[in-house]
Structure 1
Amino acid sequence: MKRVKKFVGFTVAALLTSTLFTTPALATSETPFKSLEDFKKQKQVPNAQEVKLLGYNEWGEFEEEEPNNTIAQANQITTEDYAIGKFTKDDKDYYKIEINGDEEVDLSVSLFSMDEDDTNMQLNVNVYDSTGKEMDSYYEDSDEYGYGGGFYLDPGVYYFEASDLANLNNGETYMLSPLVLDDEPFIDRIAGEDRYHTAAAIAVRRSGGYPSDHVILATGADFPDALAGAPLAFYYDAPILLTRKNALPQITKSTIDVLDAKSVTILGGTGAISKDVENALVKSGLDVERISGSDRYETATAIAEVLPPSDGAVVAYGRNFPDALSIAPIAASNMMPILLTEKSKLPESTKQAVNDYDFTYVVGGEGVVGQKVFSQLPDPERISGKNRYSTSVAIAEHFELEPTFVNIATGADFADALAGAAYTYGEPLLLTPSDYLSAEAKDYFVKNETFYFTIFGGKAAVSENVEDEILELFE
């Protein structure tokens, strides 16, 4: 891999899937909900129990109900929904939406395939008013990944007609979603009652409602063994879940069940995650491997050895977490390992490992990775700021990441950013103090007109005041 100057991210469709469309946490209540909004208000998080929701599956997706082949048979959805369906021969699927209020809205409609083999599909959406008159889009943005259309619509009833013009009759799954655009930013929060629940919620959101064969398991008590885990998660296409040292939290176990995982990779030795946890996973029928070393530096090196060959590597300070986590999505997406170092001495395991790479990115200033270490690395390039918050912004700017979609986590603790690093591939992961938005992040958002924000963690980790300050940027 050549030295990365600009990250080439996912397709627009994939970005929309991962960022815009909310997959609410699963609920444990056995009482049917009246609406998806009621479902979203639940504060509980995933377990293996099914949720019986009128029209919705346990992932919070609206599932197409046939017959819906005419306007009269249209399925009712809202702007909070995304609908999942399949096309059969000569199929046209209709969805009904009601826009309330007293002002015109700007509505964007997206339709794209959820399956890998979608290159021959010709997805199309038409919008009709209550009389059956077709509405004109003010733009069309169609490519091999899907369709997006924008409409200025007055309050009233409208219908979406979704179809595959290629008429492949291949049963591939599609997603349709309406989204009302306005002048306020879109702020999403993925959170649970603690770090274990938050990691579970991130994992479920990341899955998009599909199984995940593999799971990465890290300790929720400390960061060292987990710092290098994001590239491995990307390589295995796996979420990162957290555990206590001596017992697997019920929420983690339930999420593994929900994701229908077949294998688990444990990061770190038995001092971080005990043999009892490993044995419990094996007993439940999972294939379990452990990647570890005698210390955090050897563990990071051992993870690097599992990854496919790369020309470059990341080197970060091993005694703290912020810098390694800020660059984790970039390292992961480009399959670069994250190796760890002391400030003034390159550990022997890291010294040997860097010989396999042509260049290195050094994250953080000389206060965490000294010049003596820097000079021993192959073709090193330093990315840093005056503190952990400005360093996270410096990383986003250095790699010219798309600034429209941004993820935020507290810089005061590692757990939420760690789980989020396996979710944010190709998007900035910015750190902020818990109680206010960092000045560096504010400047970045204003300069780049950032509009879509995902916060990892509850309000104790990233307070409501951070949300308020984001909103104030748009006043």
Structure 2
Amino acid sequence: MKKTWGWTTALILTAVLYTQPAEAAVDAALKAPEIEKPNLNEIRLLGTDEWEFTEEKEPNNTFTQSNNISPDNVVTGTFTDKDKDVYKLTIDGDDEVNLILSLGTDEETKMELNVTVYDEKQNKVEAYVEDAGEFGYFGDFYLQPGTYYLEASDLKNRNNGERYYLFPYIYEEEPYIERIAGKDRYETSAFIAARSSGGMAVEHVVLATGQDFPDALAGSPLASMYAAPILLTKQNALPEITKSALQVLNTKSVTILGGTGAVSKQAEKSLKQMGIQVDRIAGIDRYATAAAIADELPPTDEVVIASGRNFPDALAVGPVASMYLMPILLTEKDSLPKATGEVLNSYDTSFVIGGTGAVGSNVFKQLPDPDRISGQNRYATSVAVADYFDLDPFQVTIASGGHFADALSGSVLSYGTPLLLTPKTKLDPSVKAYMKQNDTFMFTILGGPGAVSEKVEDDIWNLFE
């Protein structure tokens, strides 16, 4: 069964706590006539299209007044003075289940949120793990099929009218596969931005052309430094979905990667007309642009070197560069570009991504303390990057190795986890072996079936047969 949301503590709390702020932003954005409603709705529903939201119905203060709810049903309500909201949950089936409960609010709250679980005879049920952190309550229960009552409350009785979200989730031990995809690369990048933001406002966004890769290759560590998603644009005009995403995210400033040949002055003008502050990082070519981006990053001893003539290797290392804020500098195969060479003295160690067909031996010898990370092809190289930097293999992001756009947008989303490249119609053997050997359990596919077909999903499911 394909799931639509995660099952770890952090992911579930994120699902509950960070969905509604995005909806509030959308509601405000819908009032702007120049923004298209369908695009905003699609952004708002990202990751929530299979959830069922239920509003509490008062009075529900006692067992007999309890509201009926279902697993995976997000319940929203408020606490009045000395209020306790009771919900009735029926667990069907024959076997014990793992019920995970979370109760949270839009932001860090001054309330002391709590959920007490009772069985059908109104006896208290103890949690296997229980925690009330700064964002709310989390409880992990093992329950036999039957009827249970969930009593939600604010132990501090703030009576502040703040909205809460109660999410009862039944964890099933099977792989989690999700796909983040729009009708084109621009919509996909908007959806990825919405997911990476956790539904919260994003002050800064990095903008790159979706029509070619060179200027954007080095952008992932810059985006990470700004805690910014990467959105894509056409050269001469902002796509409506990109405008919508900026509106929904309540973005205040944008950094454009590349010169006007990549993102035109007209596109820049459109941003300013939206009230967004704009700056641009650009050089005379892709190598100078990458060097200029490196100058914006905090000082570090380590640098990534990748081919400037093709995109897979730079994209595969994007999540690592994002995590460590390592600059990505670009090179020709057999000669070191002037702009790259001029900044190399700032670094003590270089990680060369790709084999000699991408970065030749002559260039390799000119680099500071170089170490090469490569596989027999672009797919195996993405695996080699994951292995070399000891990324956690439990969760991976999968993107097309034949197109740059989705992996570029996803390099910030997959921060610190492997970004594995795939052919369109099947997993590469090296990628499949990596997943199998490491018991990978969570998979996020970037892009629609035109980029990564459903046959790749079939290959993932076959790993568990």
Give the shorter-chain TM-score range: 0.7 to 0.9
Task: Provide the C-alpha distance between the structure 1 equivalents of 2:256 and 2:86, rounded to a whole number of angstroms.
Answer: 46
User: 2:72 maps to which residue?
Assistant: 80
Residues 385 and 305 of structure 1: CA distance in aligned 2, closer, same or farther (over 3 Å): same
**CA 1:205–1:68 in structure 2 vs 1: closer, same or farther (change >3 Å)?**
farther
Q: Distance in 2 between matches of 1:59 and 1:474?
A: 24
The residue number in structure 1 matching 2:40 is 47
Q: Is the 1:183–1:474 contact (alpha carbons within 8 Å) kept by the matching residues of 2?
A: no
| Whole-angstrom distance in 1 between the partners of 2:18 and 2:390 | 26
1:254 equivalent in alignment to 2:233: no
Give the residue type in structure 2 aligned to 1:105.
V
Which range moved further: 13-22 or 408-417? 13-22
Q: Is residue 336 from structure 1 mapped to residue 326 from structure 2 by the alignment?
A: yes
Q: Quick one: structure 1 residues 369 and 175, their matched pair in 2 at CA, closer, same or farther if it must change by over 3 Å?
A: farther
Distance verdict in 2 for CA 1:60–1:237, change over 3 Å: farther
1:406 aligns with 2:396: yes
1:230 is matched by which residue type in structure 2?
S
* Paired letter, 2:463: L
Shift in Å, 1:362: 1.1
* TM-score computed with the length of structure 1 as normaliser: 0.81
Equivalent-residue separation in structure 2 for 1:209 and 1:385 (angstroms): 37
Aligned to 1:346, the other structure's residue is in SS state coil
Residues 5-63 of structure 1, C-alpha deviations (whole Å, 9 max, x = no match): xxxxxxx755666799996998xxx9xxxxxxxxxxxxx974179989xxx99997958
CA gap of 1:16–1:452, structure 2 versus 1, over 3 A, is farther
Indicate the larger mover: 100-109 or 450-459. Answer: 100-109
1:388 to 356, 361, 378: 378
**What secondary structure sits across from 1:260 in the alignment?**
coil
Instruction: Please point out which of 296, 302, 314 is paired with 2:304.
Output: 314
Could you say what secondary structure the match of 2:298 adopts?
A: coil
Residues 135 and 214 of structure 1: is their aligned pair in 2 closer, same or farther, counting only changes over 3 Å?
Answer: same
Asked if structure 2 preserves the Cα contact closer than 8 Å seen for 1:190 and 1:456, the reply is: yes
CA RMSD of aligned residues (A): 3.7
User: Relative to 1, partners in 2 of residues 1:69 and 1:310: Cα closer, same or farther, differing over 3 Å?
Assistant: farther
Does 1:109 pair with 2:104? no
Q: Return the match for 1:203 from 181, 184, 193.
A: 193
Rate the CA distance shift 1:51–1:415 in 2: closer, same or farther, 3 A: closer
Compare 195-204 and 160-169 and name the one that shifted more: 160-169
Contact 2:100–2:141 under 8 Å retained in 1? yes
Within-5 A mapping of 1:441-460:
441-460=431-450
Once the two structures are superposed, the pairs formed by residues 139-178 of structure 1 within 5 Å of their partners are 139=129, 149-161=139-151, 177-178=167-168
**Runs of 4+ off more than 2 Å:** 12-26, 48-52, 56-115, 120-184
Deviation track 1:94-126 (CA, whole Å, cap 9, x = no partner) reads 5554434454433333457875x68x9977544
Alignment partner of 1:364 out of 346, 354, 357: 354
Q: Pick from 259, 268, 277: which aligns with 1:287?
A: 277
Matches within 5 A, 1:202-281: 202-281=192-271
**Cα shift readout 1:261-314 (whole Å, capped 9, x = no counterpart):** 111111111111111100111112111111111111111111111112222111
CA–CA distance in 1 between the matches of 2:364 and 2:59? 63
Tell me how far apart the structure 2 counterparts of residues 377 and 170 of structure 1 sit (CA, whole Å).
60
- Structure 1 pair 65/434, CA: closer, same or farther in 2 (3 Å)? same
The answer on whether the counterparts of 1:232 and 1:307 sit within 8 Å (CA) in structure 2 is yes
Paired residues in the alignment total 443
Distance 2:116 2:56 in 1: 19
Name the amino acid aligned to 2:373.
I
Q: Show structure 1 runs of 5+ residues with no match.
A: 1-11, 31-43
| Distance of 1:261 and 1:68 partners within structure 2 | 40
Quick one: structure 1 residues 63 and 280, their matched pair in 2 at CA, closer, same or farther if it must change by over 3 Å? farther
Q: Distance in 2 between matches of 1:430 and 1:422?
A: 14
Deviation of the 1:363 alpha carbon: 0.9
The 1:450–1:59 alpha-carbon spacing in structure 2 relative to 1, beyond 3 Å, is: closer
Residues 1:99 and 2:91 are matched in the alignment: yes
The CA deviation string for residues 231-271 of structure 1, in whole angstroms up to 9 with x for no partner, is: 11111111111111111111111111111111111111111
C-alpha separation in 2, matches of 1:430 and 1:50: 25
Evaluate the alpha carbon distance shift between residue 285 and residue 64 of structure 1 in structure 2; reply closer, same or farther with a 3 A threshold. Answer: same
Aligned residue type for 1:108: I
CA distance in 1 between partners of 2:349 and 2:17 (Å): 37
After superposition, the Cα gap between the structure-2 partners of 1:220 and 1:268, relative to the gap in structure 1 and judged at 3 Å, is same
Q: Structure 2 vs 1, CA of residues 265 and 130 (structure 1 numbering), >3 Å: closer, same or farther?
A: farther
* Structure 1 residue aligned with 2:117: 127
Percent of counterpart pairs with the same letter?
54
TM-fit CA distance, 1:450: 1.3
Q: Distance in 1 between matches of 2:344 and 2:67?
A: 57
Structure 1 residue 153, shift from structure 2 partner = 2.8
- Mark the structure with the bigger radius of gyration: 2
5+ residue gaps in structure 2? 1-7, 28-36
Q: Distance in 1 between matches of 2:366 and 2:11?
A: 38
Give the 3-state SS of the residue equivalent to 2:310 in structure 1.
Answer: coil
Question: What is the CA-CA distance between 1:473 and the residue it aligns to?
Answer: 1.3
Shift of 1:159: 3.7
Say if 1:403 and 1:85 are closer, same or farther in 2 by CA, change over 3 A.
Answer: farther
- SS of the aligned residue for 1:47 comes to helix
Secondary structure of residue in 2 paired with 1:369:
coil
